Amino acid sequence: MTTSIIGFPRIGEHRELKFATEHYWKKRATKEELLKTAQQLKAQRWDKQQKAGIDLIPVGDFSFFDTTLDAAYLFNVIPARYKQLGLSSLDEYFALARGYQSETESVKALPMKKWFNTNYHYIVPEFDDETDVKLTGSKLFDEINEAKKHGIQNPKAVIVGPYTLLKLSIFKGDKQPQDFASSLVNAYQDLLAKLNEQDVKWLQLDEPALSFDQSETDLALFTKIYESLLPAKKAVKVLLQTYFGDVRDSYQTLIKLPFDGIGLDLVATTENSKLIKENGFPTDKVLFAGVVNGKNIWRNHYVTTIETLKALNVKGEIVLSSSCSLQHVPYDASLETKLPKTVQQHLAFAYQKLDELVELDAIFQGHDQKVLAINNELFSTIKHPENSQVKSRIAQLTAADYTRLPERSKREQIQKQVFNLPELPTTTIGSFPQTKDVRQNRSKLRKGEITQAEYDAFNQAKIKRIIEFQEKIGVDVLVHGEYERNDMVEYFGEKLDGFVFTQNGWVQSYGTRGVKPPIIWGDVSRNEPITVDTTVFANKLTDRLVKGMLTGPVTIFNWSFPREDITPEQSVTQIALAIRDEVLDLEAHDIKIIQIDEPALRENLPLRKSDWYRAYLDWAVPAFRLVHSGVKPETQIHTHMCYSEFGDIIQAIDNLDADVISFEASRSDLSLIDQLVAANFQTEVGPGVYDIHSPRIPSVEELEEIINHIIAKLPAAKVWINPDCGLKTRSEKEAFDAVSNMVEATKKVRSSL
């Protein structure tokens, strides 16, 4: 046994699971039909792995929605309100994942959260004092049987480990995670007993929570759990699998506990290699070396990987594996036939990564030097399109390029005078509903059914209509509605040099939702205006202020597959310069307010706090400053973020040096307001006054109350009134009614000031 992977994509090469599941939800397919599709998909992924020559094939990594939810469900971590619905187990499972509504019942879904530092989202399991943790489900065991029947003789059972399950869950009652430790250990012991009966040789327990900073209490809990769990393993070997980061604080604990294997990510960081080299790796354990990157889409450079492996100096057994589950990359790079060969040959999606593991293994065993030569050749000829102009621009940057003048307080006075806006100015975040006709118009252009002129004319009519609407209800700062944008990153990527796009590079974002991230391939630059035409068109339709709308460099970078031959800092700086050109172009075209969205700024904070500034914020914040530092004092820069957890990085956000920031606040009881006051936050703020994620239309009275609550704490002169995010997912009626109520409530509050 020498090769394995941590997990495999499950949505289907052509997103078959998405369509089958959504059909089932809409009652257009039966349960049997859905199960059949699932069965075929499972069989297909097992076949692929087996044919590629992977020795130890994971089973249990398939899921109808999310594997963390699968684990919670298996162990009966199901709140009573879902059980009371009396649904079949499949429907109960979906109720947890996405809520349930019938004529008599209405239960919300469990919350969803970002999975570590990926763009995947997991369902947060909920424990309360009544939670009776025990092994009640059968998914894992059924899949083991299914795999064996399909000819997978030696499956590796895979499930989220007890420690990570506790760390990722929420606890609604008085009982705390440690209060569930012993019942959870019992449940996992029962699981081991069953796997023993099924004659399973390996169990992989995923414990990525070890990549976060660990306190003494954390480690004590971890140790307690595994000291009591591991004696129950009998013939089943237990692999403790980590990923996304390093185990600097738990390495000593891990090597002392009687695990049979330890899985470490050797790609995300060099820290794990260092730990092995400095402390040695026990000869009685198998090292599952995560050498093939599960988070990025580039080919593995074999020479470097083999060097890394050899330098570890591990005397015992090594199994080559992926750095994390391959679910974070698309299925098959060979389907991307529209990409130039010069690009395509450097891509490795999940299928290609299987082959890479097998080839690496052969080289590592000293068998196959031919593939090594081919791989070397590939890397020696790789040519990312370079742009010498961009390079020299970056080389010439000085501190002044990151500093906007005059200082913000002076700009604030100037802008108040120039704009002469009423107190509590109203605005929206940018997009208005992307109704069916808007999406159809775009798809017609893509299919060549209409001309560019026809396409533009349609969008212009939409812009005209939305400008009129905003004027009519009395919004102060208008937007053009973003009708031309499919996605806030793809839209910019398509217009910038340096990006390439896949046809089928879907990656699961959550449940049945996928994203198709752009790939950064060459040096990024802007060769022509991106948003100038549409913004200027909107601006000419009205005497009111129209705000330009851009996506910021950090978000564009975080939601793309990045290059690996240059640093993230270099890439982000290139994107920042391109967006800077657009900002200055908008300003030159008389656009006086420009919003630069950075919804992904916070979500990509490194897992460990000690890395936040050094490894991320120290270049992410300057990149944003570089985008806007060149504008005139009277040009107002806004930014937007889709969350309200500023807590630990509140100063970094203020340091972006924007003039105004809008953010999500309505769902967090506006608790952020107190933090802003405490931090003496200087940027003007637009705390979203209602939740756009819900179809509910807030009443005027309710909104008045929220606005009053905000200005009781913050000086009204620093407050803007807006929804908490873009309106593109709402129906027109919902958006129009809610925004009208928001403006009316603002007017009422204003008159009482």
Name the site residues for ligand GLN (rule: CB under 6 A).
429-431, 482, 488, 549, 597, 599, 640, 642, 725-726, 728
* Residue 485 C-beta: closest distance to ligand GLN, Å: 8
Instruction: Flag whether 431 is marked binding.
Output: yes
Query: Toward ligand GLN, which CB reaches closer, 336 or 482?
Result: 482
621's contact among Zn ion, ligand GLN, none, with CB below 5 to 8 A by partner kind, is none
Q: Is 693 a catalytic residue?
A: yes
Q: How far is the CB of 640 from Zn ion (least distance, A)?
A: 6
Is 16 among the annotated ligand-binding positions? yes
Measured between alpha carbons, how far is 335 from 647 in angstroms, rounded to an integer? 44
Looking at beta carbons only, is 8 or 557 nearer to Zn ion? Answer: 557
Give residue number: closest CB to ligand GLN.
726
CA-angle at 322, arms to 317 and 325, nearest 5°: 130
Report yes or no: 225 and 182 within 8 Å, Cβ to Cβ: no
Q: Is 324 annotated as a binding residue?
A: no
Check whether 25 is labelled as a binding-site residue.
no
Burial readout 4-21 (b: 16 or more C-beta within 10 A, e: otherwise): bbbbbbbbbbebebbebb
Taking the complex as a whole, the smallest distance from the CB of residue 410 to ligand GLN amounts, in Å, to 28
121-123 vs 112-114, strand pairing mode = antiparallel
Q: One of 23, 121, 589, 693 is an active-site residue; which one?
A: 693
E strand residue ranges, 493-588 = 497-500, 507-510, 513-515, 519-525, 545-551
Residue burial 422-457, b: 16+ Cβ < 10 Å; e: rest: eebbbbbbbbbbbbeebeebbeebeeeebeeeebbe
Kind of pairing, strands 100-101 and 106-107?
A: antiparallel
CA-based Rg of the chain, rounded to a whole angstrom? Answer: 27
| Beta-ladder partners of 597 | 551, 640
Shortest spacing between CB 641 and ligand GLN, in angstroms: 7
Instruction: At 564, list the tokens.
Output: 């690996």
**CA proximity to 111, closest of 68, 160, 74, 140:** 68
Rounded CA gap, 213 and 219, in Å?
Answer: 10
* 69 annotated ligand binder: no
Residue placing its CB nearer to ligand GLN in the complex, 429 or 656: 429
603 annotated ligand binder: yes
664 is in an annotated binding site: yes
The kind and range of the H/E element at 708 are helix 700-713
Q: Which two tokens stand for residue 700?
A: 């005027």
User: Residue 597 Cβ, how far from ligand GLN at the closest point, in Å?
Assistant: 5
Give the residue with the Cβ less far from Zn ion, 595 or 746: 595
Residue 488 contact partner, candidates Zn ion, ligand GLN, none, CB within 5 to 8 A by sort of partner: ligand GLN
Q: Of the two residues 157 and 727, which places its CB atom closer to ligand GLN in the complex?
A: 727
The reply, when asked if residue 587 is annotated as ligand binding, is no
User: What is each CA distance from 57 to 47, 326, 348, in whole angstroms?
Assistant: 10, 13, 19
Torsion sign (Cα): 27, 30, 34, 35: positive
Q: Which of 652, 649, 638 is nearest to 597 (CA)?
A: 638
Least separation in angstroms between CB 100 and ligand GLN? 27
Is 447 a known ligand-binding residue?
no
Residues that bind Zn ion in the complex, under the rule CB under 5 A: 599, 642, 725
Minimum distance, C-beta of residue 554 to ligand GLN, in the bound complex (Å): 13
Amino acid identity, residue 161? G
φ/ψ of 537, rounded to 5, equals -55, -50
Measured CA angle at 204 (ends 199, 205), to 5 deg: 125
Give the residue ranges of the annotated binding site for Zn(2+). Answer: 640, 642, 664, 725
Annotated binding site: 15-18, 114, 119, 429-431, 482, 559, 597, 603, 640, 642, 664, 725
Binding site listing for L-methionine: 429-431, 482, 597
Which positions are catalytic? 693
Give binding residues for L-homocysteine as ranges.
429-431, 482, 597
Q: Which residues are annotated binding-site positions for 5-methyltetrahydropteroyltri-L-glutamate?
A: 15-18, 114, 119, 559, 603
